[in-house]
Chain A
Amino acid sequence: MSSVTDVAPVPATRTPEGEPREPRKPRAGALLGLVAWLIGFLFVVPVLWMVLTSLHSEQDAATNPPSLGAPLTLDGYREFFGVGTGANPWPALLNSLTASVVSTVLVLVLAIPAAYALSIKPVRKWTDVMFFFLSTRMLPIVAGLLPIYLFAQWSGLLDNIWLLIVLYTSMNLPIAVWMMRSFLAEVPVEILEAASMDGAGLLRTLRQVVAPIVLPGIAATSLICFIFSWNELLLARTLTGTVAETAPVYLTGFVTSQGLFLAQVCAAAFVVSLPVLIAGFAAQDKLVQGLSLGAVK
């Protein structure tokens, strides 16, 4: 999220001291700034609304028109963590963490060599290979759901976190290959040639020349894979039960057709989004770095 909303500074909005004002440029700059803030605000409002609702009581959360200034309470969070209900969200959160982290690591291990073979040392007909990777995403997952379910049942893998890890890995692999290929394609050939002339072998080149340059790309790819795995609901809901249940499935369990649930669901949604938010903030500086900035001098 944070990577795509980043806006380059607009230096023309500030006039140097002592100079006569130039009415046109600052006005245009201010307008652009306003639009940027407005769009940013629109993106943030639903999240802030969710946080505010999570801090209200169920009755206040359900009023129409909304009661903004209602007293704040942590009841929604208490119920999410099972105070008084006996429910325990930790297994679901840990299952999500396992599935997301392990599948992301597997994706990177497989995608980086594949992307290397498609960009820096392109194999024959590498465009066909790229298209093949993309084509695996063309079938909607829901179309394969029944065969996957029956296979899982037949092989005894229902309600097993390893099944989700394998599925998330295969689901994210094409995206990761495409992303990593575009990042690796940015590595200037001159640098690789220079490394080669200096006597660096393939592994050393990869480790000490290529890796530092594409680190922001690896960070972006990991984050995308992590987010996709963390948020995945359809497969998790169909293929897990009491043991391998993930956080999004646990989250939907707060919705009821009898009684009020908005505050609880908002509290649960906020807690479940926290790991993704934290991962996003942690990778932010890597995400916004120019890829080959200053690589060639």
Chain B
Amino acid sequence: MPSAQPATLARPSRRRHAPHGRVRLAPAATVATVLALTVSGCAGWGGGPTGGGPNSINVLMVNNPQMVDLQQLAAEHFTAETGVSVNFTVLPENDVRDKISQEFSSQAGQYDVATLSNFEIPIYARSQWIAPLDDYVAADPGFAQSDILAPMTASLSGDDGKLYGEPFYGESSFLMYRKDVLADAGIEMPAKPTWQQVADIAAKVDGAQPGMAGICLRGQPGWGQLFAPLTTVVNTFGGTWFTKDWTAQVDSPEFRKATQFYVDLVRAHGEVGAPQAGFTECLNNLEQGNAAMWYDATSAAGSLEAEGSPVRGKIGYVAAPVVETQSAGWLYAWSWSIQQASHKKDAAWRFISWASSRKYEELVGSELGWARVPAGKRMSTYSNPDYLAQASAFAEPTLAAIQAANPNDPGAQPRPAPGIQFVDIPEFPDLATQVSQDVSSAIAGRMTVDEALKRGQQLADDVAQRYRTRTSK
């Protein structure tokens, strides 16, 4: 009996369950697993910091359009010429900053090259997370370091005077305005406007076309969003974050006056949704005819004047508006640096030397169009007839703005740390982001400027106190 039972149990169950279960699902799962295991032999299995072979480098970079162009051209040109293949990891700005600081602070050695800005480079250099480039530059006369704009070289050097980064593209800030809209209103834009003149013009052209705001200014919280333009306004109003001897100045009359002016201007004549508007939103607003003026990065001009842009040829460019200072434009450069822990520094320099070269600019110009050249770093770019033919509207104002920028003396008083639209200390992103949230609330009307800056002063004072203690020791 017992020997017969399993047979009767097995037979019906096989008939009932096999078609549903094992026959259909099991092979499918097996095939999927085997497929995944086999195919990814060429994908993720060779991991580790030394992954990628001796003749390849790993590059971690921010996803800006200029970097996407580089990715497109690297294999066909750089790898073909040098035999060095480049593996890119591309991330959004905030993510890339997080990942770079995690990677470089632990000296993990996964990436040989990363895009850093002139904010991080002096700080990272102090911590010896990135390698000095002077020897490579000296051994590579074709790179022509003297052609790099002086403010760029200065802002990418460490406290020890050594060079730690090479710019990929640089920018300052200027005022962009719709020439046709201002002409229709009978207004002439001064070549070096003051902020009061800009506010008056904004009031006049507000609503000049249906849905058109007088001016677009960033209101989105973030040290690199709202506080990039706002700090330049504070500078030219005579304010500063800190005095030379580390006293916080966020609730000083000058800082308050500048912030009140900025908030009032955006609230009265600014764009719809200003508390959430950053660079991208303002770019859209200007392109779609929703703003008559915009104070922002010079690199925006490339998009505004690109083929297919609805406002191409309609935009005028003048220097950043001022009050007390001679100039007010910021200085920013996405740059390449080599991780100190990298074992492939020579190959890494070859990549940097190619990506930041004049030859690369010419390559982009001929292959992708001169409007897409990563400009703002080399003097020779601004004497290149091909580039000027495409960028004549904004080339001269951009060069003038970058050359006028002085990160070591950007305002009305001496500063404890370099930086125009930022203070070059590691605490600044946290500090300014927190204060920007309150200022953005003030733009939204949920808080007064005084309340916002009072809280900001406490935060800034905490930071200042740390530095006072350090300098007194």
Does any Cβ of B come within 8 Å of A5's Cβ? no
B40–A162 touching, CB < 8 Å: no
Given that A208-B9, A212-B16, A256-B65 are contacting pairs, would A86 and B75 also be in contact in the complex, using a CB cutoff of 8 Å? yes
Does any Cβ of A come within 8 Å of B23's Cβ? no
B72–A86 touching, CB < 8 Å: yes
B92–A212 touching, CB < 8 Å: no
Chain B residue with the shortest CB-CB distance to A246: B44
Q: How far is the CA of A242 from the CA of B42 in the complex (A)?
A: 12
A94–B43 touching, CB < 8 Å: yes
Given that A160-B44, A242-B58 are contacting pairs, would A253 and B63 also be in contact in the complex, using a CB cutoff of 8 Å? yes
B51–A242 touching, CB < 8 Å: yes
Q: How far is the CA of A102 from the CA of B46 in the complex (A)?
A: 17
Given that A86-B72, A258-B64 are contacting pairs, would A98 and B43 also be in contact in the complex, using a CB cutoff of 8 Å? yes
Interface residues of A in 63-109 (CB under 8 A from B): 63-64, 84-87, 90-91, 94-95, 97-99, 101-102, 105
B36–A252 touching, CB < 8 Å: no
Does any Cβ of B come within 8 Å of A260's Cβ? yes
Does any Cβ of B come within 8 Å of A173's Cβ? no
B13–A87 touching, CB < 8 Å: no
B92–A253 touching, CB < 8 Å: yes
Does any Cβ of B come within 8 Å of A2's Cβ? no
Q: How far is the CA of A157 from the CA of B288 in the complex (A)?
A: 48
B6–A204 touching, CB < 8 Å: yes
Q: How far is the CB of A6 from chain B (nearest CB, A)?
A: 19
A157–B48 touching, CB < 8 Å: yes
Does any Cβ of A come within 8 Å of B284's Cβ? yes
Number of A-B contacts (CB under 8 A): 185
Does any Cβ of B come within 8 Å of A167's Cβ? no
A97–B36 touching, CB < 8 Å: yes
A259–B283 touching, CB < 8 Å: yes
Does any Cβ of A come within 8 Å of B242's Cβ? no
Cβ–Cβ < 8 Å partners of A219 in chain B: 25
Given that A158-B47, A158-B48 are contacting pairs, would A252 and B32 also be in contact in the complex, using a CB cutoff of 8 Å? no
B52–A243 touching, CB < 8 Å: yes
A259–B44 touching, CB < 8 Å: no
Does any Cβ of A come within 8 Å of B410's Cβ? no
A84–B72 touching, CB < 8 Å: yes
Q: How far is the CA of A195 from the CA of B62 in the complex (A)?
A: 62
Cβ–Cβ < 8 Å partners of A87 in chain B: 68, 71, 88, 90
Cβ–Cβ < 8 Å partners of B400 in chain A: none
Cβ–Cβ < 8 Å partners of B14 in chain A: 208
Does any Cβ of B come within 8 Å of A161's Cβ? yes
A159–B110 touching, CB < 8 Å: yes
Chain B residue with the shortest CB-CB distance to A92: B43
Q: How far is the CA of A20 from the CA of B29 in the complex (A)?
A: 53
Contact residue among B43, B51, B65, B99 (Cβ-Cβ distance under 8 Å from A91): B43
Cβ–Cβ < 8 Å partners of B62 in chain A: 256-257
B89–A245 touching, CB < 8 Å: yes
Q: Which of A8-16, A35-43, A119-127, A148-156 contacts B (4 or more CB under 8 A)?
A: A148-156
Does any Cβ of A come within 8 Å of B469's Cβ? no
B63–A244 touching, CB < 8 Å: no
Does any Cβ of B come within 8 Å of A198's Cβ? yes
Contact residue among A102, A158, A200, A258 (Cβ-Cβ distance under 8 Å from B110): A158
A84, A95, A158: residue with the most chain B Cβ atoms closer than 10 Å:
A158
A241–B111 touching, CB < 8 Å: yes
B33–A244 touching, CB < 8 Å: no
Does any Cβ of A come within 8 Å of B278's Cβ? yes
B6–A244 touching, CB < 8 Å: no
Cβ–Cβ < 8 Å partners of B180 in chain A: none
0/1 interface trace, chain A 241-270, chain B, CB 8 Å (1 if under): 111110001001111111110000000000
Chain B residue with the shortest CB-CB distance to A219: B25
Cβ–Cβ < 8 Å partners of B110 in chain A: 158-159, 241-242
A259–B95 touching, CB < 8 Å: no
A149–B102 touching, CB < 8 Å: yes
A257–B33 touching, CB < 8 Å: no
Given that A63-B288, A159-B110 are contacting pairs, would A85 and B68 also be in contact in the complex, using a CB cutoff of 8 Å? yes
Contact residue among B48, B75, B91, B93 (Cβ-Cβ distance under 8 Å from A160): B48
A102, A212, A240: residue with the most chain B Cβ atoms closer than 10 Å:
A212
Given that A199-B6, A243-B51 are contacting pairs, would A252 and B91 also be in contact in the complex, using a CB cutoff of 8 Å? yes
Interface residues of B in 48-62 (CB under 8 A from A): 48-49, 51-52, 58, 60, 62
Chain A residue with the shortest CB-CB distance to B89: A242
Interface residues of A in 210-238 (CB under 8 A from B): 211-212, 215, 219, 237-238
Chain B positions near chain A (C-beta within 8 angstroms): 2-3, 5-6, 8-10, 13-14, 16-17, 20-21, 25, 29, 32-33, 36-37, 39-40, 42-49, 51-52, 58, 60, 62-65, 68, 71-76, 87-93, 95, 99, 102, 106, 108, 110-111, 224, 278-280, 283-284, 287-288, 299, 303, 308
The 10 listed contacts between A and B (C-beta, < 8 Å) are A64-B284, A87-B90, A95-B44, A160-B48, A198-B5, A212-B17, A212-B20, A215-B21, A253-B92, A257-B280
Chain A positions near chain B (C-beta within 8 angstroms): 59, 62-64, 84-87, 90-91, 94-95, 97-99, 101-102, 105, 149-150, 153, 156-163, 195, 198-200, 204, 208-209, 211-212, 215, 219, 237-238, 240-245, 249, 252-260
The 8 closest A-B pairs by CB, nearest first: A160-B47, A161-B44, A242-B87, A244-B44, A255-B92, A95-B44, A212-B17, A253-B90
Given A85-B72, A208-B14, A259-B283, 4 new contacts (CB under 8 A)? A86-B74, A98-B44, A212-B17, A212-B20
